[in-house]
Amino acid sequence: MRALALLGVFIVAKVVIVAGHPIQASPWTPIAYLWQDVLVALAFALLDGVVRRAWFGWTLYSAVVAYVAINVPIALVLSSPLTWPMLGAAGAALSDSIKRHATPGNLALMSLVAAAGVAFPFLLRRFQHRLDWKSASALIVPALLLVPIGPLASSRVETIGLDRNPIMALASSSLPRIWRHSAATGETDDWRASPFATESKSEDLTQLRERAAGRNVVLILLESAGAEYLQPYGASRDPMPNFSDLARESILFERAYSVYPESIKELFSVLCSRYPAMDTASENYSWITTPSVAAVLREAGYRTALFHSGRFMYLGMYAVVSNRGFDVLEDAGAIGGNHESSFGVDEPSTVRRALGWIDSLPAGQPFFLTYLPVAGHHPYDTPEPGPFPGRADSDRYQNALHYADAALGSLIEGLRERGLYDHTLFVIFGDHGQAFGQHEGNYGHSLFLYDENIHVPYLIAAPGLIKGQTRVKRTISLIDTAPTILDLVGLPSRGGYQGKTALEAQPGMALFCTDYSLRLMGLRDGCWKYIYEMDSGRSKLFDLCEDGTESNDLSSRYAERAAAYRAHLERWSGAQKALIENH
């Protein structure tokens, strides 16, 4: 009875979550959406039957019902129940974001599921005397037949992850999902080389090689800044006018892509020019001994510092930045500020701290400054109002970008006042994008690999050296940042770098992945964009030159191309896992 009641609770929760989303019409659809719920209910029935203690059964039942209720608003917002990586991210730093979704509507939906958990046992008890072995078999046998064909059904139906049972999602995401690829080391393989000839050489920038030697270097990773929201990339609004002004005298890369749509692992790939790996906690990146760009510059005589408006404790960030060649590492705790949130401190305080550090250096001392703002991160709160009056999250987000841009302007002006602006190399880009429902269920940044998640603005400015705007159309990856900086200042890249200098005209693919929710891998190859969902085996292939919104899936039409990309990504992901584990 308890197992049947639990299945009823699962179904109620699934209906609440799926309502309002388009559902693919197919005979496979009911199976795809229900088989995991049936499987967990059967497992519960087996465990309940083995223990045969009423107190145990009811305690376990109550805990599962409560957990399912909690997952309802989470799945409504993120199109995903809690996974193990998501649970790890939901710490104190995100408390402001969590509070924002503690709305009466979400609390009512949680109460509805909890009420179903209370009501179903009473309703079923009224019919318990009518249940005999024959009627029970009529329920159990179809359930046992349903489960084995469930994975096949999931591969045939697009569910965006809403089919997953909360217990299954948590359990499966805690297990290894990528296996080491023994046939490839990952260090000598050219993972950026396309299986197809899709892009010719273009925009040779090697004339700038070593031209920034002796300049200070300022590296800025703009939090959650997606390319599509900025005016230099075609947006009608201009939330970042200081960025736009700098872009007018810069190299502007039109096809720059994040490696992983989350700040910590992306920072690792930027500093060390190394791919992150799936199934790998940020703490494990402390094992990697590849010299960061900060370490190389410090060896060359630069003073180095990293200032972060957020907190190093979040998601193991300290393991990524410590022992990476920074003379100074300061986060929100060390900086303090006039305004604090759960995620960090105000940007003006961080900029003042960075300029103060510059003032402490001997005259003429070259420096490498890394600045990591947090403005742009959900819940998009800012200490002062922005220019966009709308109350939608997308408006609040652009106001947050405007606030971050004001800090960028203050930093640039501070360098001008100190006579350092014309002697500085600026490398500024978004660490990842931000989604607002451009694709069904896609909100935030970490869960999908559409362009709104990973296509980022990227500029290189060197006042007096780079004049006018040069727009580069070939694809680059944020993993190219360290070798590009070193190429510009005339220092050789170090062994172990998997990126390449963006000054060279040689084309290459951008590769990316995420495993916060669904296990997704993808690549950009010229006009082609490919995304592979590992759990279901589904592929998506887009021609972005003709379909910039990624709305027309061509994977069945170009099956050979999709298969080649899939094989390439599977080898790549396994090799990166092996590299991390070997270190």
Q: How far is Cα 546 from Cα 529, in angstroms, rounded to an integer? A: 11
Cβ-based neighbours of 305, under 8 Å, separated by 6 or more: 326, 327, 328, 329, 330, 354, 357, 367, 368, 369, 370
Q: Do the Cβ atoms of 309 and 345 come closer than 8 Å?
A: yes
Task: Return the structure tokens found at 110.
Answer: 């949680």
Q: How far is Cα 262 from Cα 447, in angstroms, rounded to an integer? A: 9
Strands 443-444, 424-430: pairing kind: unpaired
pLDDT of residue 199: 61
pLDDT of residue 101: 77
Strand, helix or coil at 403?
helix
Which stretch of DSSP H or E encloses residue 532? Answer: strand 528-533
Q: How far is Cα 194 from Cα 525, in angstroms, rounded to an integer? A: 7
Q: E strands of 258-319, at which residues? A: 303-308
pLDDT of residue 248: 97
pLDDT of residue 198: 63
Q: Do the Cβ atoms of 323 and 286 come closer than 8 Å?
A: yes
Supply φ then ψ for residue 246, to 5 degrees: -65, -35
Predicted confidence (pLDDT) per residue in 248-284, tens digit: 999 999 999 999 999 999 999 999 999 999 888 888 8
Strand, helix or coil at 382?
coil
Handedness of CA 535, 570, 506, 482 (dihedral sign): positive
Task: Return the structure tokens found at 374.
Answer: 């947090």
Q: Do the Cβ atoms of 429 and 458 come closer than 8 Å?
A: yes
Cα–Cα separations (whole angstroms), residue 133 to 128, 136, 415, 421, 471: 12, 5, 81, 82, 73
pLDDT of residue 279: 85
pLDDT of residue 394: 94
Which stretch of DSSP H or E encloses residue 541? Answer: strand 538-543
Look at phi and psi of residue 210 and say left if phi exceeds 0, alpha if psi is from -120 to 50, else beta.
left
Q: How far is Cα 339 from Cα 311, in angstroms, rounded to an integer? A: 14
Q: E strands of 350-451, at which residues? A: 367-372, 424-430, 435-436, 443-444
pLDDT of residue 539: 96
Lookup result for tokens 């080649």 = 564
**Residues of the chain where predicted confidence (pLDDT) is lower than 70:** 91-96, 127-141, 178-188, 198-201, 342, 583
Supply φ then ψ for residue 405, to 5 degrees: -65, -35
Q: How far is Cα 552 from Cα 549, in angstroms, rounded to an integer? A: 8
Cβ-based neighbours of 325, under 8 Å, separated by 6 or more: 291, 292, 293, 294, 295, 296, 297, 298, 299, 304
Which domains, and CATH codes, for the chain?
2-173 (no CATH), 206-582 (3.40.720.10)
Q: How far is Cα 200 from Cα 522, in angstroms, rounded to an integer? A: 21
Cα 100 to its chain centre, rounded Å, is: 20
Q: Do the Cβ atoms of 465 and 444 come closer than 8 Å?
A: no
Read off the amino acid at residue 549.
Answer: T
pLDDT of residue 183: 43
